[in-house]
A and B are shown apart, each in its own frame.
Chain A
Amino acid sequence: MASRKTSQRSQPDGDKYSVLLPTYNERENLPLIVWLLVKYFGESGYKYEIIVIDDGSPDGTLEVAEQLQQIYGEDKILLRPRAKKLGLGTAYIHGIKHATGNFIIIMDADLSHHPKFIPEFIEKQKEGNYDLVSGTRYRGNGGVYGWDLRRKIISRGANFVTQVLLRPGASDLTGSFRLYKKEVLESLVEQCVSKGYVFQMEMIVRARQLNFTIGEVPISFVDRVYGESKLGGNEIVSFLKGLLTLFATT
């Protein structure tokens, strides 16, 4: 039993990474994202745990999560479900409380954020001892898949307006694939008041305001294959509202 450790490259430091996976109706995606996380963390040898925060998904996501816990072990997969859908922002707060790592990785469970970038995030963080590292679709080799021209124009346009008005010092504000020092995330979450979509934007704007350092890693964003997006609809309206709120308050 004890010899299992030798198969992994040992890391000299004691860093541990807690991945927060908020899920709502992700029964098809959850096993796949967990499998990929285990694969890339296994290969890179960093210590980690995966915290699944399911909000009472009617499709039985939690039941799938329990099976995954059986397969990969209770030290790797932690289940911290909540009884009903209470939103993404509070899901993170709930997850942080149970995280034992000194770093926290936030990502979507819908496979649009690929775990292969996590080792890059970690290296980037170590390189400049950054307080947070943000994935970006808008720089370097970053990009998207499955977006039509209309969506690209809206995305780039919205990003440009945001850059001009807020000068946030980060290129991707609405993406939610990020690595934080735990105490940094805790203090940010405490300050942030927005809900849903705007939450990610407020987090990084406040980070800059509080003089936290930000590193960036280009990521490819592949639109979800299974299930459907829970946001959408009035996304543009809530984006504009959030932007103006941040413009007036930060």
Chain B
Amino acid sequence: MTKLLEWVGGVLVLGAAWALVTFDLLDLSLPQTYKEVAWPMPLYLLVTFGCYSLATVGYRVATFNDCEEAAKELQEQIKEAKEDLRKKGLKI
């Protein structure tokens, strides 16, 4: 099963559950409060997910390591390598 189908399946299941409660499709005579809570649920979920995404990406950007040390080490090694290679007879 492709990821696309997994997503479509997931959305269908959730959507069906939501419609069932919101519109009382099975005539279960659910209490009115159930319907009132369920009705705006998709929007809440979307907003929550959006906030979570922004917070996660923001945090990860802020904590993305700057490898100053690695860059410095590389510069040193480049110098060393060039010298050694010249000694070994490399002509550029």
Contacts and interface: CB of A to CB of B under 8 A. Distances in A.
A131 B53 CA distance: 31
Interface stretch (A122-130, A159-167, A172-180, A234-242): A159-167
A39 to B, nearest CB: 8
Contacts of A27: 92
Given A35-B81, A156-B60, A167 B71 contact: no
A145 B74 CA distance: 11
Interface stretch (A2-10, A12-20, A187-195, A218-226): A218-226
A64 B92 contact: yes
A209 B90 CA distance: 46
A157 B59 CA distance: 11
Contacts of B61: 149, 152-153, 156
Contacts of A32: 77-78, 81-82
A220 B3 contact: no
B2 interface: yes
Contact of B90 (A31, A155, A250): A31
Interface residues of B, number: 29
Interface stretch (A74-82, A84-92, A94-102, A136-144): A136-144
B77 A160 contact: no
A157 B57 contact: yes
B61 to A, nearest CB: 5
Interface residues of A, number: 42
B67 A221 contact: yes
A155 B88 CA distance: 40
Contact of B77 (A36, A246, A247): A36
B48 interface: no
A114 interface: yes
A233 interface: no
Interface string A18-55: 00000000011001100110000000000000000000
A146 interface: yes
Residue in B64, B69, B88 whose Cβ sees the most chain A Cβ within 10 Å: B64
Given A71-B89, A157-B57, A146 B71 contact: yes
A248 interface: yes
A143 B66 contact: yes
A250 B3 contact: yes
A225 B66 CA distance: 16
B84 interface: yes
A141 B77 CA distance: 21
A246 B7 CA distance: 13
26 contacts: A28-B92, A31-B81, A32-B77, A35-B84, A36-B77, A64-B90, A67-B91, A68-B90, A70-B89, A111-B78, A114-B70, A143-B64, A143-B66, A145-B67, A145-B70, A149-B61, A153-B57, A155-B64, A160-B56, A160-B57, A160-B60, A165-B3, A167-B3, A220-B70, A225-B78, A247-B2
Interface of A: 27-28, 31-32, 35-36, 64, 67-68, 70-71, 111, 114, 138, 141-147, 149, 152-153, 155-157, 159-160, 164-167, 220-222, 225, 246-250
